[in-house]
């Protein structure tokens, strides 16, 4: 009797199939929520800024501050040094204010528009669920305004202030006056000046002396409305001896046009304080032909103001058509520590130019940079970093490692590390490698009975592990899934 060789149910994938699959993987947060929004007309001028300021019921000094930033911004030129290409942005074609319409200001989370709450449920951050189960305090920002902060009362008992920045301007003007734009001056760069002029909301955190924040604080940003830009501003102050871990997540609907996101984040760590800031950025990256997607131009900077303080940035960047982002640390206090852990994944026509700056000013300061870039499709992924050791920063120490993995032969990986050392007691080391997944590694896995898809996932996970390990639990799972969606099996 003739036995037919049974065909495998699933064809054995070759690398091309995998790449195809990865490219076609859909963006799962691309839905649009139909909520009425309260919007400003398109365009940018002084009146719009006055409009925003008025909407937010801001004091006069805040308006002056915004106008000053706007005047300065008008004199500035858009930077062109980054390794990214995009059509010029028409700043007059953007709506600078869009808020989900609500009749009255919600007193509790239960009063928030149910449609909006469903959005957050879809995103996996059901506000009340969060409240009950995970113990993560969430501040959610849709389009331009903060729509709800959970766990506020519990935090207040410890003296921790966690609220939207608009609220902080009203309630804690002395802190805002002292610290807002103290790390990122309004004149710092083109996008930070723009942000200062038109920012509409964001989060504010203050941890009092000696308090260890008992839970992870978290913000979810979402761009929902069409033609809007999102400009949020986050300010975190950790007073002497305190500790806080802060998480940030971002998503946006799928739209054909490009949307602008220009945020500013400022961190201030006083003596003996520690701030840990984690981001999972998953803005809509555009479709497989490179149409649409978010332009993400973000300025993030922290200052280790006091001795023995520490700031740690961790980021997983999988979204956005363009990422332009350099979370930095100014190591001013003696013995302060700065860390930067990053995984940046680009696929299709995404472009990422990201990295960090470590500015050593104090004595015995230490910094560590671990950057992992993964490029696939037609994308370009650049690491751009600066390690600067000033003359007085004696005994400074830096270690940087940037590894790039190329999946496919149409993508690019670039590294631009700047190292400037001005004293002779410091030690700076930098190393970088670029390669594809080793055929021997794949062969080894295959030979142990693992299909190529699983093997690639395993290897990529291993590649990014050093960074993933830095993420808080709540994010680590999501980040690993994201990585799997973006790249599963795109190499053979």
Partner 1 sequence: MDTTTYIKEQFDQLQSADSGSQLSAKRQDAFTAFSNWGIPTTRHEEWKYTRIGSFFNKSFEIGASKSISIDAYRLPGHETANELVFINGQYSAELSSIRSKELTVISLEEALQNEYADIANKHFNHSASYLKDGINALNTAFVTKGAVFAAVKKGKIVSHPVYIYNITDGQVLALPRTLVHLGENAQIQIVETFASVSKSESLTNQVMEIVVEKDAILEYCKIQNENEHANQVSTTHIRQTGKSLVNAVTISLNGGIVRNNTNVVMEASYCEAHLYGLYFPKGNTLIDNHTVVDNVEPHCFSNELYKGMLDENGTGVFNGKIFVRQPAQKTNAFQSNKNVLLSDAASVNTKPQLEIFADDVKCSHGCTVGKLDEEGLFYLQSRGVPEKTAKAMLLHGFAGDILEKIKLAPIRAYVDQLIADRLEFEIA
For residues 146 and 116, what is the distance between their CA atoms, to the nearest angstrom?
Answer: 12
Among 419, 445, 458, 485, binds partner 1 (CB under 8 A): 419
Q: Does 426 bind partner 1 (CB under 8 A)?
A: yes
List C-alpha distances in Å: 296 to 81, 164, 184, 285, 353: 16, 21, 17, 10, 10
List C-alpha distances in Å: 451 to 25, 254, 325, 444, 473: 19, 32, 36, 11, 28
Only one residue has tokens 């062109």, namely 80
Residue 350: φ, ψ to 5°: -65, 150
Q: For residue 293, which of 250, 248, 249, 350 has the smallest C-alpha distance?
A: 350
Q: Does 414 bind partner 1 (CB under 8 A)?
A: yes
* Angle ∠(346,350,352) on CA atoms, nearest 5: 70
HSE-CB at 410 with a 13 A cutoff on CA atoms is: 12
End-to-end Cα spacing for the chain: 38
Q: Does 16 bind partner 1 (CB under 8 A)?
A: no
Q: Does 37 bind partner 1 (CB under 8 A)?
A: no
Q: Does 20 bind partner 1 (CB under 8 A)?
A: no
Name which of 259 and 367 has its Cβ closer to partner 1.
367
Two tokens, residue 116: 């909006």
Name which of 321 and 407 has its Cβ closer to partner 1.
407
- Count of C-beta atoms within a 10 Å radius of residue 115: 12
Q: How far is the CB of 60 from partner 1 (least distance, A)?
A: 38
Q: Does 23 bind partner 1 (CB under 8 A)?
A: no
Pick the stretch among 151-159, 241-249, 427-435, 456-464 that binds partner 1 (CB under 8 A): 427-435
Among 406, 467, 479, 487, binds partner 1 (CB under 8 A): 406
Name which of 157 and 409 has its Cβ closer to partner 1.
409
List C-alpha distances in Å: 367 to 186, 200, 322, 373, 429: 26, 33, 27, 20, 11
Name which of 156 and 427 has its Cβ closer to partner 1.
427
Residue 38: φ, ψ to 5°: -95, 115
Among 16, 129, 156, 427, binds partner 1 (CB under 8 A): 427
**Residue window 457-486: x/- pattern of binding to partner 1, with contact defined by CB under 8 A:** ------------------------------
Q: Does 424 bind partner 1 (CB under 8 A)?
A: yes
CB 143 within 8 A of CB 230: yes
Q: How far is the CB of 374 from partner 1 (least distance, A)?
A: 11
Residue 35: φ, ψ to 5°: -125, 145
Q: How far is the CB of 165 from partner 1 (least distance, A)?
A: 35
Residue-wise DSSP of 148-177: EESSHHHHHHTT-EEEEHHHHHHH-HHHHH
Q: Does 207 bind partner 1 (CB under 8 A)?
A: no
Q: Does 14 bind partner 1 (CB under 8 A)?
A: no
Among 25, 123, 158, 432, binds partner 1 (CB under 8 A): 432
Among 21, 434, 441, 454, binds partner 1 (CB under 8 A): 434
**Residue window 364-393: x/- pattern of binding to partner 1, with contact defined by CB under 8 A:** -------------------------x-x--
Name which of 114 and 438 has its Cβ closer to partner 1.
438
Name which of 418 and 444 has its Cβ closer to partner 1.
418
Pick the stretch among 104-112, 163-171, 355-363, 405-413 that binds partner 1 (CB under 8 A): 405-413
Among 43, 134, 416, 476, binds partner 1 (CB under 8 A): 416
Q: Does 290 bind partner 1 (CB under 8 A)?
A: no
CB 6 within 8 A of CB 394: no
Name which of 254 and 376 has its Cβ closer to partner 1.
376
Name which of 277 and 463 has its Cβ closer to partner 1.
463
Name which of 173 and 417 has its Cβ closer to partner 1.
417
Residues contacting partner 1: total by CB under 8 A: 35
Burial 132-164 (b: 16+ CB within 10 A, else e): eebebbbbbbbbbbbbbbbbbeebeeeebbbbb
Q: Does 74 bind partner 1 (CB under 8 A)?
A: no
Q: Does 415 bind partner 1 (CB under 8 A)?
A: yes
- Count of C-beta atoms within a 10 Å radius of residue 4: 5
Those residues whose C-beta lies under 8 Å from the C-beta of residue 384, and which sit 6 or more positions away, are 82, 83, 326, 353, 354, 355, 415, 416, 417, 418
Q: Does 440 bind partner 1 (CB under 8 A)?
A: no
Q: How far is the CB of 426 from partner 1 (least distance, A)?
A: 7
Q: How far is the CB of 425 from partner 1 (least distance, A)?
A: 6
Please provide the size of the chain in residues. 492
79-98 residues in contact with partner 1 (CB under 8 A) are 81
Name which of 31 and 416 has its Cβ closer to partner 1.
416
* Angle ∠(136,141,145) on CA atoms, nearest 5: 140
Pick the stretch among 63-71, 119-127, 147-155, 407-415 that binds partner 1 (CB under 8 A): 407-415
Among 16, 79, 429, 462, binds partner 1 (CB under 8 A): 429
Residues that bind partner 1 (CB under 8 A): 81, 389, 391, 404, 406-436
């Amino acid at each position: 009797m003739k036995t037919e060789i049974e065909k495998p149910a699933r064809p054995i994938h070759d690398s091309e199939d995998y790449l195809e699959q990865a490219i076609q993987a859909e963006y799962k947060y691309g839905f649009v929520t139909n909520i009425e929004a309260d919007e400003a007309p398109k365009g940018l001028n002084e009146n719009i800024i006055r409009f925003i300021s008025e909407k937010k019921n801001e004091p006069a000094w805040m308006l002056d501050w915004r106008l000053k930033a706007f005047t300065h911004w008008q004199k500035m030129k858009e930077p062109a040094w980054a390794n990214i290409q995009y059509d010029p942005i028409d700043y007059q074609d953007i709506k600078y204010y869009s808020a989900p319409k609500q009749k009255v200001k919600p007193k509790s989370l239960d009063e928030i528009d149910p449609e909006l709450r469903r959005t957050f449920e879809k995103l996996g951050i059901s506000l009340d669920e969060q409240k009950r189960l995970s113990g993560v305090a969430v501040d959610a920002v849709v389009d331009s305004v903060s729509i709800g902060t959970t766990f506020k009362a519990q935090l207040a008992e410890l003296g921790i202030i966690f609220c939207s920045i608009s609220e902080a301007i009203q309630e804690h003007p002395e802190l805002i006056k002292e610290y807002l734009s103290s790390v990122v001056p309004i004149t710092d760069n083109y996008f930070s000046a723009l942000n200062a002029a038109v920012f509409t909301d964001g989060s504010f955190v203050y941890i009092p002396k000696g308090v260890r924040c008992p839970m992870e604080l978290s913000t979810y940003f979402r761009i929902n409305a069409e033609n809007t830009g999102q400009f949020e501003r986050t300010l975190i102050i950790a007073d002497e001896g305190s500790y806080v871990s802060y998480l940030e997540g971002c998503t946006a609907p799928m739209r054909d046009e490009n949307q602008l996101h220009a945020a500013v984040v400022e961190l201030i760590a006083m003596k003996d304080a520690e701030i840990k800031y984690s981001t999972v950025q998953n803005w809509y990256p555009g479709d497989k032909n490179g149409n649409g997607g978010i332009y993400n131009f973000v300025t993030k900077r922290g200052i280790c103001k006091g001795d023995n303080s520490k700031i740690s940035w961790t980021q997983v960047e999988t979204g956005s058509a363009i990422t332009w982002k350099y979370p930095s640390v100014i190591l001013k206090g003696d013995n302060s520590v700065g860390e930067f852990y990053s995984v940046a994944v680009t696929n299709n026509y995404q472009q990422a130019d990201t990295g960090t700056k470590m500015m050593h000013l104090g004595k015995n300061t230490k910094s560590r940079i671990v950057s992992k870039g993964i490029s696939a499709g037609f994308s370009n992924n650049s690491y751009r970093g600066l390690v600067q050791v000033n003359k007085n920063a004696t005994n400074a120490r830096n270690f940087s490692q940037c590894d790039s993995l190329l999946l496919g032969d149409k993508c690019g990986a670039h590294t631009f590390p700047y190292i400037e050392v001005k004293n002779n007691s410091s030690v700076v080391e930098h190393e970088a490698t670029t390669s594809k997944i080793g055929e021997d590694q794949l062969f080894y896995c295959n030979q142990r009975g693992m299909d190529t898809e699983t093997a690639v996932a395993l290897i990529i996970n291993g590649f990014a592990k050093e960074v993933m390990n830095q993420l808080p639990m709540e994010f680590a799972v999501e980040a690993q899934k994201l990585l799997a969606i973006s790249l599963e099996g795109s190499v053979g």
